[in-house]
Amino acid sequence: MTATATVVVPPKQRRELDALRRFAPVLVLVGLVIGLTLKRSDFLSIGQQQQLVESAAPLLVFATGMTVVVMCGGIDLSIAAFAGFASLWFARFVPHLGIGALVAVMLLGAAIGTVQGVIHVKAQIPSFVVTLGGLALWAGLALLQDKPSILIASNSSVLALDGRLVGVPRLAILAGSLALVTGLLMWATPVGRWVRAVGSNETAAYLSGVPVVATRIAAFAFCTMCAALAGCMVAIDQTNGSPGTGRTQLLPTVAAVVVGGTAITGGVGGVGRTVVGVLIVKVLGTGLSIIGIGQKWENILYGALVIVAAALTIDGSKLTVVK
Amino acid sequence: MSIDARPAMRSTGVGTSPRRLGIFARRRTANASAVRARATAGERVLKWGPLAALALLCMFFAWRAERFATVDNLKNVLDQSAVLSIATVGITFVLLLGAIDLSMEGIMSACVMVGALLVMNSRNANDWGLFAVIPVVLVGAAFGLANGLITTRLKVPSFMTTVGMSAVGLGVAQLLFDGDQPRVLDRPLRAWAIGRVFGFTRATLVAVVCIAIGVVIQRHTRLGRYATAIGSAEDIVALSGVNVRRYKALAFALAGAFYSIAAVLLFLKQGTGNDELAVNVNFAAITAAVVGGTLLSGGQGGVLQSIVGVLIVKVLENGLLLLDVQPALQRAVQGVIVVGAVVAATWPLRHRLRVVK
Amino acid sequence: MSAAVPALRLEGISKRFGAVQAITDMTFEVRRHEVVGLLGENGAGKSTLLKILVGLVEPDTGTMYRDGQQVRFRTVTAAADAGIGMVYQEQSLVPSLTVAENILLGCEGHGVNAGVFRWRKLRELAQAQLDKIGSNIPVRAVTSQLTFPQRQMVEIAKVLSIEERTAFDPVVLLDEPTSVLDGPDVAVLFEQIERLRERASVVLVSHRIEEVMAVADRIYVLRNGVVAAERRPTETTTDELRHLMIGREDTGSHFHAERQADCADTPRLEIVGLSSAHFHDVNITLRKGEVVGLAGVQGSGREELCRAIFGALKVDAGEIILDGEKVKARSPRGAVQVGIGYLPAERRTEGMIGTMSVAENMSLATVGTVCRGPVLDREREKRVVDDWIERLRIRTPSGSVPMRQLSGGNQQKVVLARWLMSGDLKVLLLDHPTRGLDVGAKSEVYALVRDLAANGVSLLVLCDGLDETIALGHRVIVMRDGEVSAEFAAVRDAKPRPDKIMEHML
Amino acid sequence: MHSRTMKRLTAGMLLVTMTLAACGSDDGGDAATPSSAASTSAAPATDAPATTGGSETTTAGGDDTTAPAGDACAPEDVVLIGQVRDETNPYEKSWLDGGDEFAASVGLEQKRLTYGDDSTKEQDQIKQELSSGNTSCYVLNILPNTEGDTKPIADAAKEAGAFLVTQWNKPADLAVEDYDRWASHISYDGVESGKLIAETMFHAMGGEGGIVALQGGLATTAAKDRFAGLQEALAANPGIELLDEQTANWSQAEALTVLQTLITKHGDKIKGVWTANDGMALGAMEALDAAGMSDVAVVGIDAVPEAVTAVADGRMTATVSSDGPWQGGVGLAIGYCAAIGEIDIASLTADNRAFYANQTLITADNAADFATPSVDLTEFDCANVFNRVSGPLG
């Protein structure tokens, strides 16, 4: 308000605090894993870990795309619905294009994300609204077909992606590579700065000649492309595409991004944090059901833990206004 | 340092330069009123745009769908809007803060189950009749208050708080459900609830009363006015000595109370308590509020605007159904029209330096 | 109580923020119905002192007396209860509320009964406050529709409303109230301060020494967290005060007038018939190495013209020609690419990105120059940034510190460096480059302007004060109601007189 | 600020760890998970099962199984797992209850899993269960959330060497015979059920008048099959006119709203309401009640308790029972018999590997018999588990 005199905190203490904050998500993850291992000793076994990593793969892909959009200060609600839509087209393309179907569907995703981004940026309406409309549109269009699901022929080359490479699920490698490449791009090229600049102070970014419009649109294109990829990954795992593919993944995706430490208000965050967030959400979600707690209480506990995890990982002290 | 101010003060003194100041003032006012006119043009669109969209939709459906413009159908639309309206009144207060509430389904499910188990039902010996509303509202308000307290005290963004709280609410509902759906056996109560007054269902009337209460709270109470103020400039409100956290928490609690009333209507209309009755209400309510002009950025819009949004959503739903649009397409069309409506309503506000997130 | 007891007295106040000693053993007094001026550079401790007075910050040591009684303010409300209120530099009214609500926000009194507003009563109460300052602003008006000076009046009325909550005569703190006002509005404000004197004590903080001299009864000069001097306006001069503030002797060449280089005759930027909603048919030519001061009151369209040249505002007609070539891309990015830079007036909201580091802020516009192919070369960036930090004497521990941790003057230098970094900067548009800066920082900015011009960069400069405009410019162009109304040559030894220019502004 | 943050962090960490450690106390595992549309059941697609040759000859215990081929499990080593969407759905709850009764009859306990309409969660649960320890004596009786989930589940079971029975959802071109330990897939002929209730309703209407149809979620085979059954019945009854068809997504609340609108659209022309499940039928009856239309015939499928009561009261015309408790019990029974060596999966006939089970039309005449779901334990004897086979999928 007033000459918002620079918040002066002794540098050393502040650094410690920041470091602690930065690693809070990791600490939460470790705490969860310890808790689960105490309860079920084989939680850390290879089999369990393989399974965890495998099931986390699509969520990581969703969340990687979402991270970029959230860092820009936006949100994309259409990802889950679009993943279902994409999985259908993927299954349809596979007989003709083989592995190329994956590329085709991702391009389709990028194109559609671009459209959503253009509407958001050019018509200047909140991304929440545009993508809410997208959610309805893609969910509706996915239903416009005769069969409830389209099978991917079992001899198809794309199904080879479902195997394991030296014990690590291939899909997880794919997801991990995507996150890694995205993280590298954000770190090593100006794009990451543009994204953070747009998310923190769009006006200043614009007036510095940052390609604000392009950055935003690209973020949405990338996010929808990731959603398409995630949809294909689920389809490969299920060996078919259906409108319901990935349907339930929207809120876990946002939760993973935010719990990982990316501010929902934009500007602050990163793909690395999201990886941790994804693991937290996955360990929470599947962990609760495997350790055999009273399942009646599972939802209540899940909700409570989401809040606790968020409270621990989100640096409230940096937010002057919490919304 | 400003020479433009100093000569006047130094040479002739502040008090003796009214003539020049007068000129200034007039020029300034003319200029300011020009700015004002522009601003209000935008504001006017934001205010009346949704209403115009609603009118256009109604006209279109009246023209294309033969049964749309019948009294019976319009009463129906109002009846079908009742539950969503009340829930939207609630979420409007949260949106005015600039926060978001995704816990509506959880809270409503919990309230549905509490209510259905308190009135005369097939599961237990309770028979609270209409008095069941009191504990149900308390439950809803308590959930909302929990949202508010967690958001304000632990500084967790409302998005995350309410996602978590929704799961908690659903969990509570499932605990209470316990695999056995309670049927409402209180015939007089149900008859009252689905009965009609002047051809309008009681649900409609309850909704109208709730909307009226919502308008009064929003416009004439501290809670409502502060919620709007907090949404547009939280730090300023805090500097004025207002206990911002308290009013934020209260706004969430108020929202919870409204959800609970919507939940009561819901289970009375359905005649059963089921944890799935409230599915999809949350996004519908947010869509309605935003379409009506209660923006997610906070501080703008209000109860009446949100209700216009509810009517747009419901008229659309009703009209598309009457138009024989293929069922699978109905949702898709709704999505497109909602985005189109918001684009049209906010088009004049566009500006190169405008930041929209 | 006798009139000799001061309305407010601070004794031995110290405040430390971590490693930084903001205020040291300060003693400060405000007498009844007195206007106290508070001068000091950024970082001298003015903000901290104000925050202590208004209850935003608690001092570490020292005591405060209100009308002779010892007091301690833990919150803004506590200070308000003791009759102390502040008019903030960046305005603190809620735009969506009515004037009446804003005036009484948080202390509606009888205007609210059991949480429900009694509008008539509320408006009466608010009107009473506005009457105190003789304002005729309608209490029903929505605040967002008021002009800036009108809002300031509402703020003053709001601060005065604490009068009713306390037995004390209020103390009104005005934090840089004139920094964003134009001349005539400043006059109205000062008229208001004279009026306030009758019912309250006033503390006026300003960078503009002349203004403080004009209205204050007593002036405190702060430097490095201590009171460097206490003066009466009648006993001092502007120059002395300036010396006291910066503690240096070099103020004579404040504007570095001797360094104004002659400019070439080659046109660099030609603006031909540029029109938009805010200005009409503007024709201006900037020569190579020329500084053009653009004068005009608020609403003259000069700010908008700047933005339009930079591509941030839509134009309806006209052309912008740079070095003989038409500028096609009409966007800030396009402008940056052809060598046009722009420094916005609102540094915090438009100029910088507080969460990002100094280095990132600096290289934001010209990130291409620190890249190897598409990849950032962090080593090179660090070298370049460190170089500029040194050249501009930016006070920061390193380039990786978040921007928001720097003081205003240093932030402004970083934003300037953003444009200086680009090797092929041709035109720089400066919109109030010294707003909110202290004397020392201002002088450094002026020196930079001189250097740039000498290096062939053409500058278009908008300033708050005419003296700045005149001193900096080779020419002064005056805008009125969206049109160019006059042009004055302003070479080194033949500067035009301000009143001549003023005539064309009105 | 520093120490406060520290405290908060540490306290929170402790809380997380402790809650997790503490809430394991009740291992029994009765389930409750997020919502699903009421009884989203699904039958196979209309295409004939492509039972390609060769599968019959596959010997039990392929390369992937961890247990030695042919080795029977000791009965007490068998682990029984039943998984459905939601226990808040009466039908699915009765499923698991039937499983419990069977488990008790052989001195075991059934592990109850629910996944709340979330395919990701369903597969995660199964894979987690099967990802550790010796799983060759595990018996799974699974309700796949969608067709798409069936293959991954079957693959996971195959890899773990666990015995599997699936119900309702299976893509037509996925052959049970390709798997050694996937004993059976049980489903119900949706075309038949849709047709049965339609014909009963037409009869109640006297063979003429207008009807409206409320379909289930359009993405499911069940919705499509059941509606196909209605269309077959319509073709055979020219006196009946289909005024409108809409979807209400299996949801009671949505059915009420949609039918309200349809009533204003068609008014008294509506003499019957065909719905694809009982939840929607219940919603439809509320809409009719509210409109004061008492003599409209309503039919549904699934035989949820409320609907059975309504049929008994005469408020509803008919519903179809697939007998949840039997499904829950018999699925485990088949797997259990295979695990202890009483049934040799490889030698089962194609009809027993994937089949439609008998379903029962419930009308006012027999509603009283179905008022309380119950099981006949003799049906779960290894010799009787295939008694209800009505025919091959098709």
Number of domains in chain A: 1
Q: Is A287 helix (H, G, I), strand (E, B) or coil?
A: helix
In a domain, A209, yes or no: yes
pLDDT digits (tens, 9 = 90+) for D16-68: 544 444 444 333 333 333 333 333 333 333 333 333 333 333 333 334 434 44
Chain C residues with CB-CB distance to A210 below 8 A: 333, 364-365
Note whether C116 and B220 are within 8 A (CB): yes
Residue A126: count other Cβ atoms within 10 Å of its Cβ: 19
Closest CB to A124 among B159, B167, B354: B354
3-state secondary structure D42-69: CCCCCCCCCCCCCHHHCCCCCCCCCCCC
Is pLDDT above 80 for D180?
Answer: yes
Domain annotation for chain C: domains and CATH numbers = 8-249 (3.40.50.300), 257-505 (3.40.50.300)
In this complex, do C116 and B241 lie within 8 Å of one another by their Cβ atoms? Answer: no
The count of residues in chain A is: 323
pLDDT of C37 reads 93
User: Which residue among C351, C364, C406 sits closest to A6, beta carbon to beta carbon?
Assistant: C406
- Residue B192: the pLDDT is 87
Q: Which residue, C314, A219, C277, is CA-closest to B354?
A: C314
- Picking from D144, D159, D141, the residue whose alpha carbon sits closest to that of residue D102 is D141
The phi-psi region of residue D296 (left if phi > 0; otherwise alpha if psi is between -120 and 50; otherwise beta) is beta
Cross-strand bridge partners of residue C267: C287
Residue B178 C-alpha, separation from nearest chain D C-alpha, in angstroms: 6
| Distance from the Cα of residue C278 to its chain's centroid | 23
pLDDT in tens, B85-127: 999 999 999 999 989 999 999 999 999 999 999 999 988 999 9
Segment A250-286, tens digit of pLDDT: 988 988 998 888 888 788 889 999 999 999 988 887 7
Strand order across the C20-30 sheet: C20-30, C8-17, C61-66, C69-71
Contacts of B201 in chain D (CB under 8 A): 290
pLDDT recorded at residue B3:
32
| More confident of the two residues A98 and D212 | D212
Predicted pLDDT of residue C251 = 44
Helix, strand, or coil here: C44? coil
Contact call for residues C234 and C251 (beta carbons, < 8 A): no
CA C257, CA D133: separation in Å to the nearest integer? 86
Of all helices (H) and strands (E), which one includes residue B42?
A: helix B18-64
Query: Which of the two residues, D28 and D220, has the higher pLDDT score?
Result: D220
Question: How big is the A-C interface in CB pairs under 8 Å?
Answer: 113
Question: Which of B208-222, C12-26, C340-354 has the highest average model confidence (pLDDT)?
Answer: B208-222
Would you list which residues of chain B are within 8 Å, Cβ to Cβ, of chain D? 67, 70, 72-73, 76, 79-80, 109, 167, 170-171, 174-175, 177-181, 183, 194, 201, 266, 269-272, 274-279, 317-318, 321-322, 324, 327-328
Over residues C209-235, the mean pLDDT reads 89
Given a contact cutoff of 8 angstroms between Cβ atoms, the answer to whether C173 and A2 are in contact is no
With CA atoms as reference, the chain A residue closest to C416 would be A208
Report the greatest alpha carbon distance in chain B: 90
Mean pLDDT estimate for chain D: 82
In angstroms, the CA B11 to CA B22 distance is 18
At B262 the pLDDT is 96
Interface of D with B (CB under 8 A): 32-38, 87-90, 93, 215, 218, 244-247, 251-253, 256-258, 260-265, 282-283, 286, 289-290, 304-306
Neighbours of chain B (3+ CB pairs under 8 A): A, C, D
Question: Where is average pLDDT lowest: A31-35, C418-422, D19-23?
Answer: D19-23
Can chain A be said to touch chain D, i.e. do they have 3 or more Cβ pairs within 8 angstroms?
A: yes
Nearest to D218 among B67, B269, B327 (CB): B327
Chain C contact present for B1, CB below 8 A = yes
Q: What is the pLDDT of residues D229-244, one digit of tens each?
A: 999 999 999 999 999 9
pLDDT tens figures, C29-87: 999 999 999 988 766 788 889 989 988 888 999 999 998 889 988 888 888 888 898 88
Residue-wise DSSP of B83-132:
HHHHHHHHHHHHHHTT-----HHHHHHHHHHHHHHHSSBSSSS---GGGG
Lowest mean pLDDT among A72-76, C174-178, D224-228, D317-321: C174-178
Check: CB of residue D176 under 8 Å from CB of residue D253.
Answer: no
Tell me whether residues A17 and D2 touch, CB distance under 8 A: yes
Residue C415 confidence (pLDDT) above 50: yes
Report d(CA B132, CA B114) in Å as an integer.
8
Residues of A in contact with D42 (CB under 8 A): 148
- C240, C262 Cβ separation under 8 angstroms: no
Q: Helix axis angle, A298-313 relative to A271-290, nearest 10°?
A: 160
Which range marks the domain in which residue A210 is found?
54-287
Short-list D176, D269, D169, D174, CA closest to D217: D169
C184 vs C315: which has the higher pLDDT: C315
Phi/psi at B352 (5° precision): -60, -35
C76 lies within 8 A of chain A by CB: no
Contact D130, D160 (CB under 8 A): yes
Rg (CA), chain A: 20
pLDDT tens readout for residues B40-77? 556 666 677 888 889 999 999 999 988 898 988 999 89
Q: Do chains B and D touch by CB distance (3+ pairs < 8 Å)? A: yes
Rounded to whole angstroms, the Cα distance separating A285 from A58 reads: 14
All residues at 6 or more sequence positions from C175 whose CB lies less than 8 Å from its CB, including other chains: A2, A3, C47, C50, C86, C87, C88, C89, C205
Q: What per-residue confidence (pLDDT) applies to B273?
A: 87
Q: Which two tokens stand for residue C125?
A: 């109460």
Structural domain includes residue A162: yes
Residues of A with CB under 8 A from a CB of C: 1-11, 13, 188-190, 193, 196-197, 200-201, 203-211, 267-268
Q: Which fold has domain D55-188+323-358+373-392?
A: Rossmann fold (3.40.50)
The pairing of strands D354-357 and D319-321 is unpaired
Q: Do A244 and D146 touch (CB under 8 A)?
A: yes
How confident is residue A290, by pLDDT bands cut at 50, 70 and 90? low
Please tell me which chains touch D, using 3 or more CB pairs under 8 Å as the contact test.
A, B
How far apart CA D178 and CA D172 sit, in angstroms, is: 13
In terms of phi and psi (left: phi > 0; alpha: psi -120 to 50; beta: otherwise), the region of B98 is left
The mean per-residue pLDDT over the stretch C317-345 comes to 90
Contact A242 D148 (CB under 8 A): yes
Candidate from C147, C158, C467 with C-beta closest to B32: C147
Q: Which residue has the tokens 């779901």?
A: D373
- C-alpha R_g of chain C: 24
Each residue of C275-322: pLDDT tens digit?
998 899 999 999 999 999 998 877 788 889 999 999 998 899 999 999
For range B294-320, the mean pLDDT: 91
Between CA C9 and CA C24 the distance in angstroms is 15
Task: Give the neighbours of chain A: at least 3 Cβ pairs within 8 Å.
Answer: B, C, D
Q: Domain locations in chain B? A: 81-302
pLDDT band at B247 (very low <50, low <70, confident <90, very high): very high
b/e per residue, B283-322, with b = 16+ CB within 10 A? ebbbbbbbbbbbbbbbbbbbbbbbbbbbbbbbbbbbbbbb
Residue appearing with tokens 């700010």: C303
Residue C258, exposed/middle/buried by CB under 10 A (0-12, 13-18, 19+)? Answer: exposed
DSSP state of A187: H
Number of H helices and E strands in chain C, helices first, is: 16, 24
Q: What pLDDT, on the 0 to 100 scale, is given for residue D270?
A: 95
> Which of B174-183, B237-246, D60-69, D175-184 has the highest average model confidence (pLDDT)?
D175-184
Find the closest chain C residue to B236 by CA distance. C92
Whether the pLDDT of residue A243 is over 90: the answer is: no
DSSP H or E segment with residue C271: strand C267-275
For residue D145, the chain A residues in CB contact (below 8 A) are: 244
- Count CB atoms within 10 A of the CB of residue A171: 26
Give me the total of CB pairs closer than 8 Å, taking one residue from chain A and one from chain D.
Answer: 187
Structure pTM? 0.82
Residues of D in contact with B76 (CB under 8 A): 260-261, 263-264
**Residue C138, pLDDT above cutoff 80:** yes
Range ranked top by mean pLDDT from A302-306, B35-39, D129-133 = A302-306
Query: Who wins on pLDDT, C256 or A103?
Result: A103
Touch between C and D (at least 3 CB pairs under 8 Å): no
C424 in contact with A at a CB cutoff of 8 Å?
Answer: no
For domain D191-321, give the CATH superfamily.
Response regulator (3.40.50.2300)
Which positions 197-216 of A are in contact with B (Cβ < 8 Å)?
202-203, 206
Structure tokens at A38: 């105490």
pLDDT recorded at residue D10? 52
pLDDT at C149 over 60: yes
CA of A47 vs chain D CAs: smallest distance (Å) = 5
Please report, for chain D, the start and end positions of each structural domain, with discontinuous segments joined by +. Answer: 55-188+323-358+373-392, 191-321
Q: Are C465 and C276 in contact (CB under 8 A)?
A: no
Contact C30, C6 (CB under 8 A): yes
